[in-house]
Amino acid sequence: MTANGWAQIVVFLGAVLLLTKPLGLYLARVFDRRRTWLDPVARPVERLLYRLTRVDESHEMRWTEYGAAMLLFSLVSFVVLYAILRLQAWQPWGNPQALGPVPPYLAFNTAVSFTTNTNWQAYGGESTVSYLTQMAGLAYHNFVSAAVGIALAVAFVRGIARRESATLGNFWVDLTRASLWVLLPLCLAGSLVLVSQGVVQNLKPYDRAVLIDPQTVTTTDGTGRETKTEVTRQVIAQGPVASQEIIKELGTNGGGFFNANSSHPFENPTPLTNLLEMIAIFAIPAGLVYMLGELTGSRKHGWTVWAAMAFLFLAGVTTAYWAEAQGNPLLAADQHASALAPGGNMEGKEVRFGIPASVLFATVTTDASCGAVNAMHDSFTPLGGMVPLVNIMLGEVIFGGVGAGLYGMLVFIILAVFIAGLMVGRTPEYLGKKIEAYDVQMSMLAVLILPLTVLLFAAVSVVSPSFGTSSISNPGPHGLTQILYAFVSAAGNNGSAFGGLSANTPWYNAALGIAMLAGRFLFIVPMLAVAGNLAGKKRVPRPAAGMIAFMYSSYSVFMTSVAASTKLSISSSVCATDTKHASNWLGASQKPLSSIPLKYFA
């Protein structure tokens, strides 16, 4: 652990902090339909789109209509992308490598992955999909899946902010404004910056370079027979990379143009691009948190939520940095940093980034639902590799994906407010709205989707040698982690891979695809139900002591971070035992529920 490493973490978090307020204010103006500096350019385009699609921008939707519009849009987007992948061989333009159609199971998995903002990739981008597919299929979904997440977060915030309202806004308007006012202008500027740093952007066919020193490659077939081949040329893949790279980070999508993702020098060539890409991952999620405080009239609460997220982020990156800086305990060599060696565990990491930038990127990409990687998580130490896994298991609410992180954290906050209200013996309230049984039931339904989906598919894979464990590269505990990480990443809509799992099989393509659908849409529907229910409620009068209200809100968010940090580490048997003890304690003492000791809620 070096001063340079800590400085990188501080500079990154400081940059995110500086962007939070201006970007949050801008987002609040965009979705509150107030005038912005982009209106002269974006507003005419918006009106034209509404005329072409016959959208009434003044129409307000109930949560059921809002959700139905989102599901219908996602279904059509999925079908279109599936068709593009399957018909790739017959594309009239944009396929200079003459790549063939993507196989059915892989096409299903990929179409689901990009529709759900997961961007899990069971293929190598440069060897599987054409330029046209990358641009018209994958990059398009990078924009609209991110815009859907932003729209859903805005709808949830409206549900909290509105009083006695039956509607949450208009999905088509929110989707359009998220694209025209937020994603497109930021990506236009960001892509130019990446190009200036060396990220490739062209439509040229792949180059073939003659090797100065030819290499002999030995391959072994199924019968054990070895074949030696002399390699004299190297294929240098290229294409429209920069335009996809920026939206992959800014929209927390994560799908790389190249198989090596952000460790490839054509995607992430310099330490500056590495820093900018990490900032892009957190920028919009951080701004949305400030927007929460701005639109609900409680900026202190917005900053409290931001602080809780920052605390969890620092806890994760510190743990991972410490673990990787210690090196591999099985190696006897000196692994301390020196003038001649970076020190620590450098396996699976780019030398030009080193341990601090690799660990920071891994933490950021799994705190958010991005999934882009500049190092191989499979090569991290056990404790270092645990951090990305736990980050996704928490629901990616540490800033999180664009939109998804905010509404995921709000669901946790509602549960924490409910528990805190019971503990202090008062009616649970959140920003002036009473939290009732329906809100808690829907929130619990949403929270349980991730662990149930992961446990189901991981269990089937682990006990199935023919199609489950046959794909792992490390039998034993590490192989279990490879399978677990894959389904956690899919159900959490992250998309990063632990590595070592051959996922391009019918079982994993289908199972991971279903897990992505469940993790995305089975969470969104109950979340929208909560938002719709909150929108229809009256705002109860705030306590006279404003500081007391703020402290109660802060305590609720603190409880959220504690609950999120512990919810996946408690086994069902322990939970059942504690519940039984709590019931016995209440029955013997005849005390109210609010007097149950804190340990029974941990």
**Token code pair at residue 572:** 């069902």
CB 244 within 8 A of CB 142: yes
Q: What is the pLDDT of residue 141?
A: 92
Can you tell me the mean pLDDT for 86-105? 90
Cα dihedral value 467, 473, 476, 480, nearest 10 = -60
For 590, counting Cβ atoms within 10 Å of its Cβ (0-12 exposed, 13-18 middle, 19+ buried), the class is exposed
Q: How confident is the model at residue 557 (pLDDT cuts 50, 70, 90)?
A: low
Bridge partner list, 218: 228
Q: How confident is the model at residue 597 (pLDDT cuts 50, 70, 90)?
A: very low
Q: What is the mean pLDDT of the chain?
A: 85
**Token code pair at residue 137:** 């299929």
Q: Which helix (H) or strand (E) holds 518?
A: helix 506-535
Q: Which helix (H) or strand (E) holds 215?
A: strand 207-220
Q: How confident is the model at residue 596 (pLDDT cuts 50, 70, 90)?
A: very low
Q: What is the pLDDT of residue 501?
A: 85
**Helix pair angle (271-296, 140-161), 10° resolution:** 30
Q: What is the pLDDT of residue 521?
A: 93
The SS3 assignment for 211 reads strand
Domain boundaries, the chain: 207-236
Q: How confident is the model at residue 348 (pLDDT cuts 50, 70, 90)?
A: confident
Can you tell me the mean pLDDT for 308-315? 91
CB 374 within 8 A of CB 263: yes
What's the gap between Cα 144 and its chain centre?
Answer: 15
19-33, 486-500, 580-594: least confidently modelled range: 580-594
Q: What is the pLDDT of residue 351?
A: 85
Can you tell me the mean pLDDT for 509-533? 93
Q: How confident is the model at residue 561 (pLDDT cuts 50, 70, 90)?
A: low
Q: What is the pLDDT of residues 355-409, one digit of tens each?
A: 899 999 999 999 988 888 988 888 888 888 899 999 998 888 888 888 888 888 8
Q: Which residue has the higher pLDDT, 598 or 333?
A: 333
**Could you give phi then psi for residue 215, rounded to 5 degrees?**
-115, 145
Q: Using the Cα atoms of residue 180, residue 186, residue 189 and residue 193 in order, give the sign of their dihedral.
A: negative
| 481 has a pLDDT exceeding 50 | yes
Can you tell me the mean pLDDT for 197-205? 91
| 334 has a pLDDT exceeding 80 | no
Q: What is the pLDDT of residue 65?
A: 94
- Residue by residue, what is the 3-state secondary structure of 268-336? CCCHHHHHHHHHHHHHHHHHHHHHHHHHHCCHHHHHHHHHHHHHHHHHHHHHHHHHHHCCCCCCCCCCC
Can you tell me the mean pLDDT for 435-458? 90
Q: What is the pLDDT of residues 212-236, one digit of tens each?
A: 888 888 888 767 788 888 888 888 9
**Token code pair at residue 569:** 């580490």
Q: Which residue has the tokens 């990220």?
A: 199
121 vs 444: CA distance, rounded Å: 30
Can you tell me the mean pLDDT for 254-271? 90
**Token code pair at residue 35:** 């005038």
| 582 has a pLDDT exceeding 70 | no
Task: For strands 207-220 and 429-430, give the pairing.
Answer: unpaired
Q: What is the pLDDT of residue 342?
A: 75
Q: What is the pLDDT of residues 34-74, one digit of tens each?
A: 999 999 999 999 999 999 999 999 999 999 999 999 999 99
- Residue by residue, what is the 3-state secondary structure of 51-75? HHHCCCCCCCECHHHHHHHHHHHHH
Q: Which helix (H) or strand (E) holds 5?
A: helix 3-31
Q: What is the pLDDT of residue 427?
A: 78
Q: What is the pLDDT of residues 17-34, one digit of tens each?
A: 999 999 999 999 999 889
Can you tell me the mean pLDDT for 414-442? 85
Q: What is the pLDDT of residue 577?
A: 35
CA angle 224, 227, 228 (to 5 degrees): 145
46-50, 176-180, 349-353, 567-571: least confidently modelled range: 567-571
**Token code pair at residue 328:** 């591999």
44 vs 39: CA distance, rounded Å: 8
Q: What is the pLDDT of residue 318?
A: 93
Q: What is the pLDDT of residue 590?
A: 40
Q: What is the pLDDT of residue 19?
A: 94
Q: What is the pLDDT of residue 18?
A: 95
Q: What is the pLDDT of residue 560?
A: 54
Which pairs from 329-335 meet CB under 8 Å and 24+ separation? none
**Token code pair at residue 288:** 């949305």
Q: Which helix (H) or strand (E) holds 213?
A: strand 207-220
Can you tell me the mean pLDDT for 408-433? 85
| 118 has a pLDDT exceeding 50 | yes
**Could you give phi then psi for residue 38, rounded to 5 degrees?**
-90, -5
DSSP conformation letters of 98-155: ---PPPHHHHHHHHHHHHTT----SS-HHHH--HHIIIIIIIHHHHHHHHHHHHHHHH
CB 440 within 8 A of CB 416: no
**Could you give phi then psi for residue 266, rounded to 5 degrees?**
-80, -15
Q: How confident is the model at residue 558 (pLDDT cuts 50, 70, 90)?
A: low
Q: What is the pLDDT of residue 571?
A: 32
Q: What is the pLDDT of residue 230?
A: 86
| 601 has a pLDDT exceeding 90 | no
| 185 has a pLDDT exceeding 80 | yes
Q: What is the pLDDT of residue 366?
A: 92
Can you tell me the mean pLDDT for 549-563? 50
Q: What is the pLDDT of residue 154?
A: 93
Provide the b/e sequence for 493-521 (b: ≥16 CB within 10 Å). bbbbbbbbbebbbebbbebbbbbbbbbbb
455 vs 524: CA distance, rounded Å: 20
**Token code pair at residue 386:** 């645990």
Q: Which residue has the tokens 């669901």?
A: 411
Q: What is the largest CA-CA distance in the chain?
A: 84
CA angle 77, 83, 85 (to 5 degrees): 105
Q: What is the DSSP letter of 15?
A: H
Q: What is the pLDDT of residue 189?
A: 93
